[in-house]
Amino acid sequence: MKHIRITLAITAAIIITAASCASCKSTKKTADEAMTDSAALVGPEFNADSAFNFVAMQCSFGPRTMNSKAHDRCEEWIAKQFEKYGMKVERQRADLKGYDGTTLKSCNIIARYNPDAAKRIVICSHWDSRPWADNDLDKNNWHKPVMGANDGASGVGVMLELARLLQNDSTLSLGIDFVCFDAEDWGTPEWADKASDSDSWALGAQYWATHLPEGYQPAYGILLDMVGGQNAKFYQEGISKTYAQDVVNKVWGAAHSIGYADYFPMTDGTMVNDDHVPLNEKAGIPTIDIIPYYPDCAQSTFGPTWHTVYDDMEHIDINTLKAVGQVMVQVIYTETGEQ
């Protein structure tokens, strides 16, 4: 009996070995492809677990709606985090007017990497949460706040992970300004009796774009908006193409060179009114928006959780954070400091 068992085990081992050999060919092809991808890779590995934790930390304060305690506590946390990674942090405060006349205590958080470098780029995202889940299927949720795990926290989570990776890196001569915009998501709600007003969105970015320091001229900007959703695909957004086609080519080219073509199709999306609009139109900084497009989603082309109570940690996909984060590393480490 014992002998039979041993024979069986050996036979099984042979079958498994043979089976894995039979698949050698296809495995090898995949490995070759992976080689091409990893050969193109530059810079450090983007740690998506760490980015995910940064997203979760922001959500742990609660929805970061304007004028709320959670908002103020999270502001403190984000600023401290960038400081911890050796960056000089500025908080640009302003009282801004919401569509309904509410005074919004706004704070853009600006963290500078290599502050003295001449060639600079801007990487940005909004950090506030929408106060109303006005796109929820259930109208009982329309006045409840959105957690904004994806819509807000995901972009900041990717930026914080980039900042963590860049700390102590003395090889890069490029300067990077990380800007966390406030008051993006107080735009006119669907249920308001007022007509929607495109200027009611991106209030913090509008303020930043019209209060730049003298002579400040970054080469370009990249906005990260909703970069952690499930089934996300980042089509080429229209305003980005109009103002910053070269940057679109650079970012999508980087994505394809390291194996993230599925996430970054070379296909047109729609035009989105987002934080990059004032950067392009008021500040003259060519800026793209990395934002998902869901052509087949009936509820919203921004995806099924957009401006609903389901935009929470349960609906964050770490693989999406990884794809966007590694593409950002690729772009950053492909730049030289020369103007």
**Which partner, Zn ion, ligand AHN, none, binds residue 274 by CB below 5 to 8 Å per kind?**
ligand AHN
The minimum distance between CB 129 and Zn ion, in angstroms, equals 8
In the 3-class helix/strand/coil scheme, how is 122-181 assigned residue by residue?
EEEEECCCCCCCCCCCCHHHCCCCCCCHHHHHHHHHHHHHHHHHHCCCCCCCCEEEEEEE
Closer of 147 and 248 to Zn ion (Cβ): 147
d(CA 275, CA 328): 18
The minimum distance between CB 57 and ligand AHN, in angstroms, equals 20
Contact between 310 and ligand AHN (CB under 6 A)?
no
Q: Are the C-beta atoms of 175 and 114 separated by less than 8 Å?
A: yes
Contact between 225 and ligand AHN (CB under 6 A)?
yes
Range 136-155, binding Zn ion (CB under 5 A): 151
The minimum distance between CB 181 and ligand AHN, in angstroms, equals 11
Closer of 227 and 258 to ligand AHN (Cβ): 227
Contact between 331 and ligand AHN (CB under 6 A)?
no
d(CA 124, CA 121): 10
Identified binder of ligand AHN from the candidate list 136, 161, 182, 185, rule CB under 6 A: 185
Token readout for 24 is 């050698």
In the 3-class helix/strand/coil scheme, how is 225-261 assigned residue by residue?
CCCCECCCCCCECHHHHHHHHHHHHHHHHHHHHCCCC
Residue identified by tokens 């087949």 is 296
Which span (47-55, 63-71, 110-118, 269-277) binds ligand AHN, by CB under 6 A? Answer: 269-277
The minimum distance between CB 205 and ligand AHN, in angstroms, equals 11
d(CA 231, CA 134): 22
Identified binder of Zn ion from the candidate list 130, 233, 250, 256, rule CB under 5 A: 130
Contact between 136 and ligand AHN (CB under 6 A)?
no
Amino acid symbol at 187: G
Picking from 175, 182, 202, 51, the residue whose alpha carbon sits closest to that of residue 109 is 182
Identified binder of ligand AHN from the candidate list 272, 321, 328, 329, rule CB under 6 A: 272
Range 17-76, binding ligand AHN (CB under 6 A): none
Residue identified by tokens 């990717």 is 158
The minimum distance between CB 149 and ligand AHN, in angstroms, equals 12
d(CA 241, CA 47): 29
The minimum distance between CB 303 and Zn ion, in angstroms, equals 11
Which residues contact ligand AHN by CB under 6 A?
Answer: 151, 185, 187, 201, 225, 272-274
Which residues contact Zn ion by CB under 5 A?
Answer: 130, 151, 185
